[in-house]
Amino acid sequence: MIEMINKKILTLLLLLLAAGTAGLAQDEKPAPTTIQPTIMAIPFTPEGRSLRQNFERNDILRIAITKVKEAFDDRGVNTIDFRAKLKQLNNTGALTDEQQRSIKDDVVALSGADIYVEVEAKKNHSSTGNSVTVIMTAYDAFSGESLANKVSTSPKFKTTNFAKLTEKAVEAEIDNLLNTIQEKFNDIVENGRTIVLNIGLSEDADYDFDAEVDDSGDLLSDLIEDWVQDASFKNYYHLQGVTDTKMIFDLVKIPLKDDRGRSYRVSKFGARFKKFLKSKGLDASRVINGNNLVFTLK
């Protein structure tokens, strides 16, 4: 009898222990995973040159871009093939000699990349051996803000295998580049992207920022600052200065993604601000240059 009671007690304890363990397992939350950016390597092209011709005619640059992409791929990074996007633009007839200034912007916008890395490559010849120097500069694709820069030169070898030299140059700094990119991208995810908002008045405007434009009794400058505070990511902004005719927000944070999970572009913030101005009976023109948003009130 005692033995049977002991068995029942032991069985009960085991059941209670199992139930407690199951409860703990349900309460446990998976460790947060790091969000990785999607990256595209593109050729650096000096002002006035054709991006397409620079890529197609520069063998060492094509090799460098390929090696950078391969290095990212080997580390499990989501990458986008620049050559494929360039071909896609070619197929749509979007690339003409008259459009060279906008080609890079078109490729980046079409790619959907979070970050693009401009790659430069140069062959170095000497009597003691040849080498390759690779410069990799990472930018936020939506604001144009510089995120990271690495310069690497391969060791000198008496060889004409520049593809191998390029690979050695890329491998020497790719981890440092990626670590810096990931660190900056994590900050963007947590704190938002930075844009600059400049607001001015046209010469023929018949009001200034000290004017009252609605029934609230607030000055126009106060209404704008309140809107920027509400619209900025986590209400994080900084007003550099305000005069009768100018307002400069040197830092306004916008989110990485919108409520539908799509990339939140600078233009979307601008569109929202323009609607706000319209609600106050004000018209304005808008110019976007990288992460700079310029409004001129009429």
Q: Are residues 281 and 214 part of one domain?
A: yes
pLDDT value, residue 70: 94
Q: Which residue, 190, 220, 249, sits at the end of a domain?
A: 190
Domain-embedded: residue 131: yes
Q: State mean pLDDT over 31-41.
A: 74
> Judging by DSSP bridges, how do beta strands 115-124 and 237-242 pair with one another?
unpaired
11: confidence class by pLDDT, cuts 50, 70, 90: low
Alpha helices in the chain (DSSP H): 2-27, 51-57, 59-74, 82-91, 100-111, 162-191, 220-231, 266-279
Kindly report, residue by residue over 240-258, the tens digit of the pLDDT: 999 989 999 999 999 988 8
Q: Are residues 65 and 181 part of one domain?
A: yes
pTM: 0.74
CATH of the domain at 140: 3.30.160
pLDDT value, residue 290: 77
Mean pLDDT of the chain: 85
Q: Are residues 223 and 149 part of one domain?
A: no
Q: Determine the Cα–Cα distance for residues 70 and 79; give it in Å rounded to an integer.
A: 9
Kindly report, residue by residue over 96-125, the tens digit of the pLDDT: 444 444 578 788 878 889 999 999 999 999
Q: Are residues 70 and 186 part of one domain?
A: yes
Q: Are residues 196 and 177 part of one domain?
A: no
Query: What is each CA distance from 19 to 9, 27, 137, 255, in whole angstroms?
Result: 15, 12, 54, 42
Q: Are residues 134 and 122 part of one domain?
A: yes
Q: Are residues 196 and 183 part of one domain?
A: no
Kindly report, residue by residue over 260-290, the tens digit of the pLDDT: 888 888 889 999 999 999 999 999 999 988 7
Domain-embedded: residue 31: no
Q: Are residues 174 and 164 part of one domain?
A: yes
Domain-embedded: residue 25: no
Q: Are residues 177 and 122 part of one domain?
A: yes
When divided into structural domains, the chain yields a total of 2
Full residue range of the structural domain in which residue 229 is found: 192-297
Q: Name every residue whose Cβ is closer than 8 Å to that of residue 276 and which is 6 or more positions away in sequence.
A: 227, 231
Q: Are residues 210 and 145 part of one domain?
A: no
